[in-house]
Amino acid sequence: DTAVSQTPKYLVTQMGNDKSIKCEQNLGHDTMYWYKQDSKKFLKIMFSYNNKELIINETVPNRFSPKSPDKAHLNLHINSLELGDSAVYFCASSQFEGEGNEQFFGPGTRLTVL
Amino acid sequence: QKEVEQNSGPLSVPEGAIASLNCTYSDRVSQSFFWYRQYSGKSPELIMSIYSNGDKEDGRFTAQLNKASQYVSLLIRDSQPSDSATYLCAVPSYSGGYQKVTFGTGTKLQVIP
């Protein structure tokens, strides 16, 4: 069984379009994350949700809007896509237990904006 | 100043050698440290975690932590070509009671047969 799944795996779209990426985890974790990994492989956190509540919101353009309908799902909607949004987006989850909680990553969504 | 720093490499070692990967961090209050491995085109996966000063061994992997020097390293003994990947150092910090993990830029390891 897939622990953290994302759809789609690849997304190619034109500048200015709006797109969504979906994430689901079946690990029973209470915290989910979105990360962006750019062409230089730098993995940077964008958002984190704990039990459907937004707890981390890094400096991300407001064109990016996360939504967590329940603690097993965290979706990312991106409006007015720009060339610089091209990257791999990873969803991850963990169980918040204070220190030392491992994050489990999804397979990633490679977004290419043309 | 970056919060978590790693040498981007590539670090090339011959098969069977010891690969040594280093990481420094700036948050003095950090208590836990992680090493993730990321194969090309894949997602990161946790391979080691360490919380106390000293060494922690798991198979061919040894993590070393020195909190006074704000330094954590990963040693891979008897390196294999399958170890070729990018290794990410990850350091949690806490804000408002919640954990935020900061990743280093990763060190690319190449094990040459």
pLDDT, tens digit (0-9, with 9 covering 90-100), for A64-113: 999 999 999 999 999 999 999 999 999 999 987 655 678 999 999 999 99
E-strand ranges in B26-69 read: 33-38, 45-50, 54-58, 61-66
> Among A53, A77, A80, which residue's Cα sits nearest to residue A65?
A77
- For residue B100, what pLDDT band results from cuts at 50, 70 and 90? confident
For residue B101 the two structure tokens come to: 């993990």
Find which of B48, B86, B101 to mutate to test the A interface (most A CBs within 10 Å of its CB): B101
- For residue B27, what pLDDT band results from cuts at 50, 70 and 90? confident
> Among B19, B9, B35, which residue's Cα sits nearest to residue B78?
B19
What's the confidence (pLDDT) of residue B33?
92
Q: Which residues of B touch A104 (CB under 8 A)?
A: 46
Residue among A94, A102, A107 minimizing CB distance to B43: A107
> Among A4, A99, A54, which residue's Cα sits nearest to residue B44?
A4
Residue pair A8/A19 in contact (Cβ under 8 Å)? The answer is no
pLDDT, tens digit (0-9, with 9 covering 90-100), for B37-79: 999 999 999 999 999 899 999 999 999 999 999 999 999 999 9
Which residues does A contribute to its contact with B (CB < 8 Å)? Answer: 40-45, 48, 50, 55-56, 90, 94, 96, 99-108
Between A and B, how many CB-CB pairs are < 8 A? 54
How many Å lie between the alpha carbon of B42 and the closest alpha carbon of chain A? 6
